[in-house]
Structure 1
Amino acid sequence: MFHRIRRRAKKPSEAQRRSTELHAQLQGQVPPGIGVPAPEPQSVEPAAIVDDFLPPELRVPSHDQVEGKMMPWKQPLVLDGEMATCAECGAYRDWLILSTRGEIWLRCRAGHQQQETRIDTAWFNRHSRPADATHATFEDGLRHLGY
């Protein structure tokens, strides 16, 4: 049985023969465009300058134009295994978290504020949602969030 397989393998198949012939035909050919100099670039007229910015009423201020950001945090805030509580009234939920000048501040419902050093602006950015409004004053922002 193995003798028959080896004997058949010695002769090239029809597909191998056609492939060899095609390879021999294409051996000396060069693809079109090779060796031909590239055409000179044509002069292009400059495009008209268009003001593609949004109108002023639709623009959102950049981070350096905003004094700070705030977000509500209704559930208890657990940091490093401890629940954050207000130093003055003992509140432990319904926080307003403020991010300003690289610092994080917590504000309880009673209006007491305390700096929180266990969280940073990266934490704030991960947990906050996109801004739904901008406000001219801090008090306007508090009213908007119901504080």
Structure 2
Amino acid sequence: MFHRIRRRAKEPSEAQRRFVEMAAKMQGQVPPAVERAWAERDRERSEPAIVVDDFLPPELRVPSHDQVDGTMMPWKQPLVLEGEMVACSECGAYRDWLILSTRGQIWLRCRIGHQQQETRLDTAWFNRNSGPADATHATFEDCLRHLGH
């Protein structure tokens, strides 16, 4: 009895034979819907592409990083680095900073106008903590006025 089952298993069934025959007949055929899609694609490729001047009008373009000398953000609360509160080296102010990022360096500017470089901060820290720029200014003084300093 087991020999008969094994012999049947070795030979393909009638359904398998029909499937193989049908697959051989359909080997080089492409469905009509696919042929239409290919024809449309080829027609679109043959048409010349429309040339557009630029995506954004000039008044909406933001300057790139190489066109900007630096960025700054206000920092109202005290700045604590490595467990130590940062204070101005000249007047002792410890809050209401302007933090400037320029040429890979971070500078702190107090309300009075004293500036000191902060080596414990880097541009990665600045980028993580600053929000999106709300304005660009032609001069440093214009930016200070905009931020209220």
Question: Normalising by structure 2, what TM-score?
Answer: 0.76
> Which residue does 2:94 correspond to in 1?
92
Specify which of 34, 45, 48 is matched with residue 46 of structure 1: 48
Question: Does residue 88 of structure 2 align to residue 101 of structure 1?
Answer: no
Going by fraction, where is helix more abundant, 1 or 2? 2
Deviations 1:38-67 (A, max 9, x none): 989667032121123211111110011001
1:122 paired residue number:
124
Q: Quick check: 1:144 aligned with 2:137?
A: no
Please name the residue that 2:21 is paired with.
28
CA-to-aligned-CA distance 1:102-124 (integer Å, 9 cap, x gap)? 11000001110000000000100
Q: Aligned partner of 1:113: which letter?
A: Q
Structure 1: gaps (5+ residues): 1-19
Q: Do the aligned partners of residues 95 and 33 (structure 1) sit closer, same or farther apart at CA in structure 2, a change above 3 Å counting?
A: farther
Q: CA separation in 1, counterparts of 2:62 and 2:75?
A: 24
Match of 2:7 in 1: none
Q: CA distance change for structure 1 residues 114 and 46 in 2, over 3 Å: closer, same or farther?
A: same
Q: How many residues in Structure 1 have an aligned counterpart in Structure 2?
A: 129
CA, structure 1 residues 93+32, in 2 after alignment: closer, same or farther (shift >3 Å)? farther
The share of aligned pairs that are identical, in percent, is 70
Shift of 1:29: 2.1
Q: Using the alignment, how far apart are the partners of 1:44 and 1:103 within structure 2?
A: 52
Give 2:20's aligned amino acid. Answer: Q
Letter in 1 for 2:21: G
User: RMSD value over aligned CA atoms?
Assistant: 2.7
Runs of 5+ unmatched residues, structure 2: 1-12
Shift of 1:36: 5.4
